Structure 1
Amino acid sequence: MFIGVRNYLNLLTDERFWNAMKNTGLELILGVGVQFLIGLGIALLLNRTFRGKNWVTTLYLLPMMISPVVVGCIWRIIYHYQYGPLNYILNRVSIASVNWLGSGSISIFSVIIADIWEWTPFMMITLLAGLQAIPDELYEAARVDGATRWQTFSALVVPLLTPVMIVVLLIRIMDAFKIFDLVVLLTMGGPGQSSETVSFFNYLTGFKYFNMGYASAMAYFQLLIIVIIANIFLKSWKRRETI
């Protein structure tokens, strides 16, 4: 039944929806943030010539090249409470086993860790491409002027790499906002609703509870948030270009 704006008003007071928004926000801030920092660090290490560089770069890209379904299955094995290698390592150093997928306070972080493992290579390869586009002459000029490595990074690399940073962060934020596959494969949103994301709750609302009107309102709300985030990033980019 069509009920107009009531679905949107119901979103404002729906505790389950805002719990899903909180989990999605954790993925955006913690997941994408860690991916960016690790990806930038690896890109800086690979932005130099050394023996076997191509092989190392290819190995770093493997998680991104694996199907998301396979990634979910791999991490289900890693997180297994009794037989998983992660708990085995913890036990070897006298730490009790952790219920990675069955604990309400940990399950969402388990999903985020798997997502970080899968998508950090995307950050790395994109930022590495940006680093390699910086002319060597600028590094040589910085060395001649006596700049330290930190000064070269902060005053040379960061400003020139900022457009690439903005684009890669925007792409990953939009993609992470829709995280669905790992939630389904690892926790199914549980235990309870502790690891539900907006996309997963939207799927349940539309295709399990058959409340298509409410699911559509939720989808439009997601779209609005993504548009706002994208505009913030694009305005930051344009503002930088005018400086």
Structure 2
Amino acid sequence: MHEHAAVNISGLSKSFGGIEVLRNVNLTVHKGDVVSVLGSSGSGKSTMLRCINWLEVPDQGRIEIAGQRIGVNDAGKAMSQRELAAIRAKTAMVFQGFNLWPHLTVLQNVMEAPIRVKGVHRAKALEQANELLAKVGMGDKAHAYPFTLSGGQKQRVAIARALAMNPEVILFDEPTSALDPERVGEVLQVMKNLSAEGYTMIVVTHEMEFARAVSDQVVFLEKGEIIEQSTPQKFFSNPDTDRVRKFLELMN
């Protein structure tokens, strides 16, 4: 049987107030791959991520997650909230601002969605949450509240929470950009570990070393279009476009 791509985007376009933010974006992400999405601010990177899980509704294009179209059902009609929730649960998103629930402990933050969205039994959710917190190095903070944590610790909890949904693909929207420089490494290390375990990840990032070391492919967005897409080896050593060469000079 032919295995579906983890994510397949074709002809994706999106405008806000007459300004085209994404223009005819096509991208295939295979199961187990890490795709780093680079580009300057305002190039459409975050909007592309938000379209993948239908947090933003595209103007045009088709998006499939593990072979299933999101947003529009087989009859070509807009999905109901229930249909949308079922397929959205195949993705998990890690935001730059963590988005943890402040009134819940770290453990409760990780348990909540599997219980509420997937109907996982509480005892099973508890066991899984403890395992995932240990995986991201936060096992000792299970009963702490988010306000007591550093940014890097919050982001590691947010990653554990994303993993708790057992997603087909994890979307990272600049996961280290809100962190103090000394906290960036601990989050990137967790992401490297996930990559080694075979998780499928799409990562919008400014961390060039991470993109170079961990990605299977690197995508460069400029004014809403993918102007370059290649392996990290080629992208960083011999890019095709002047725009990418200039970008890399600035980032070095």
TM range (shorter): under 0.3
Bigger-Rg structure (1/2)? 1
Query: Could you tell me the TM-score, scaled by structure 1's length?
Result: 0.25
- Decide which structure has greater helix share: 1
Query: Could you tell me the TM-score, scaled by structure 2's length?
Result: 0.25
